[in-house]
Amino acid sequence: MHAIRYDHARVHYLADLDTPQPGPGEVQLAVRSTGVCGTDVHLHHGEFGPVYPLTPGHEVVAEVTELGDGVTHLATGQIVAVDNMVPCGTCPSCQRAQPGFCDFMRAFGHTAPGGFAEFMVAPATRCHPVDDIDIDTAVLAEPISCAVHGLDVLDAPTGSDVLLLGAGPTGLILTQLLRSGGSGRLTVASSTAFKLELAAGYGADETVQTRFTGDATSVAPLRKIAPDGFDIVIDATGSVDAIGHGTSLLRNGGTMLVYGMTAEQALVPFRPYDIFRRELTIKGSFARSYGFDRAVRMLRTGRVRAEGFVTHRFGLSEYGEAIRTVANDSTCLKAVIQP
């Protein structure tokens, strides 16, 4: 089979590899579509803990082509969305119901072969049937499950005044979840007009077009919306400048959720006195725990709408162009690789 392969950071090639065979409890999958996200760009640069040799790709929709011994709840020909995280279930973090911090995590596309390939193998228990969902919709199951986990961590009071920074795929998913999840008012800020139009269509009450810089004037329009600050600020950009403004946009007693992924060495300045005196809370959200089934349900019921998300499609041989597009093209909302 053909698959994208990295032997070290920044250099990839289209490899001809043996087609993987399923072991007991596993299934062989023919990949139909795999989303390309900002995490894949970080992995390309050697960030986020890749294990080499690496075949990336963690937002996978595939067809079951072969069943391993003991698999009875799936059938060949079924279309499934793959939960790419396989915790051990026995380490201290797993025992504390925190599988995202598993000491022995297998993560397809990060530490184990992923979906930028013609075939892959996964435990049957991590495969969620999505035969009744369009593939362009089902490919959002993994990013939605991460957003579900983020809102689990946030645990926002109903009726909160929320500011969401960023309107990429994750920002637009969070827009829909926040809109249906009880926010009192939702403001979305982004530098890209067409993404803000989508955010408005998905339920944002206010949208603000601004490019986040270190200059405080870039967030001045947001201060006009909430002069006393927002209850909650969520960063879905991974921009150091956007995150740097986050605490200043909070009301006293407010909460900031750092959701977007920054470069590992990035630093954000803030005044500890503000955290102390104003009783601010800063939370983080990493990957997900116990959210994949809920993500699929939200796609199935239409709680999260997917129309307009996939804007760019590539084959395996165009993988390099896909990474460049996600990293640099503001017209790209969601790119997918379709082997």
pLDDT at residue 166 in the model = 97
Query: Cα dihedral sign for 290, 295, 300, 301?
Result: positive
Give the pLDDT means over successive 10-residue stretches in the chain (339 positions).
Answer: 98 98 98 97 94 98 98 98 97 96 96 98 98 97 97 97 97 96 96 96 97 92 97 96 95 97 87 95 94 97 93 98 97 97
pLDDT at residue 254 in the model = 98
Residue identified by tokens 């920044």 is: 10
pLDDT at residue 290 in the model = 93
Write out the two tokens for 158. 């109903």
pLDDT at residue 50 in the model = 95
Beta bridge mates, 29: 64, 120
Q: Minimal CA–CA distance to 1: which of 18, 14, 13?
A: 18
Determine phi and psi for 87, rounding to 5 degrees.
-75, 160
Q: Domains along the chain?
A: 2-140+306-337 (3.90.180.10), 153-284 (3.40.50.720)
pLDDT at residue 264 in the model = 82
Rounded distance between C-alpha atoms, residue 141 and residue 178, angstroms: 17
pLDDT at residue 43 in the model = 96
